[in-house]
A = this chain, B = another copy of it.
Amino acid sequence: MPQQTQQLRERLAQIQDLTRIAELLEWDQQTMMPPRGAELRAEALGTLARIHHELLVDAETGRLLDAASAQLNGDVESDDARLVRRARRLWNKATKVPTDLAAELARAGSAGQEAWAAARSEDDFGAFAPYLERNLELARRYADCFDEFDSPYDALLDDYQPQMTAAQVTVLFDQLKAELVPLIAEAAGHTVDDSLLHAEVPTAAQRRLVDEIVAVMGFDRQGWRLDDTVHPFAVSFGPDDVRITTRWDEHYWPTSLFGAMHECGHGLYEAGIGKELQRATLGQVDSLGLHESQSRLWENMVGRSRGFCGVLAPRISELFGGAFAGLDPDALFRAVNTVRPTLIRIEADEATYGLHIVIRFELEQELLNGTLSVAELPEAWNARVHDYLGIEVPSDAKGVLQDVHWSAGLFGYFPTYALGNMIAGQLWARVHAELGDLDDQIAAGELGGLRDWLRENVHRHGSRYTTEELLERVVGGPIAVEPFVAYLKHKLGDAYGVALN
Contacts and interface: CB of A to CB of B under 8 A. Distances in A.
A34 B241 contact: yes
B278 A40 contact: yes
Interface string A1-32: 00000000000011001101100110010001
Interface stretch (A47-55, A302-310, A323-331, A416-424): A47-55
A470 to B, nearest CB: 25
Interface string A34-67: 1111011101100110110001000000000000
A159 interface: no
B224 A14 contact: no
A228 interface: no
A32 B28 CA distance: 10
A33 interface: yes
A399 to B, nearest CB: 29
A28 B24 contact: yes
A195 to B, nearest CB: 36
Interface in A221-247: 221-225, 237-238, 240-242
A48 B34 contact: no
A110 to B, nearest CB: 12
A279 interface: yes
Given A25-B24, A32-B32, A237 B37 contact: yes
Contact of A40 (B34, B47, B48, B279): B279
Interface in A367-398: none
B14 A47 contact: yes
Contact of A237 (B17, B24, B44, B279): B44
Contacts of A35: 222-223
Contacts of A241: 33-34, 36-37, 40-41
A18 B237 CA distance: 18
Contacts of A44: 17, 20-21, 237
B279 A34 contact: no
A268 to B, nearest CB: 15
Contacts of A40: 20, 237-238, 240-241, 278-279
Contacts of A240: 34, 36-37, 39-40
B223 A37 contact: yes
Contacts of A279: 40, 43
Given A18-B47, A21-B25, A40-B237, 14 more contacts: A13-B43, A13-B47, A17-B47, A18-B51, A20-B44, A32-B32, A33-B241, A37-B237, A37-B238, A37-B240, A40-B279, A41-B237, A41-B241, A44-B237
Interface of A: 13-14, 17-18, 20-21, 24-25, 28, 32-37, 39-41, 43-44, 47-48, 50-51, 55, 221-225, 237-238, 240-242, 278-279
6 closest residue pairs by CB, A with B: A37-B241, A36-B240, A17-B47, A40-B238, A36-B223, A17-B44
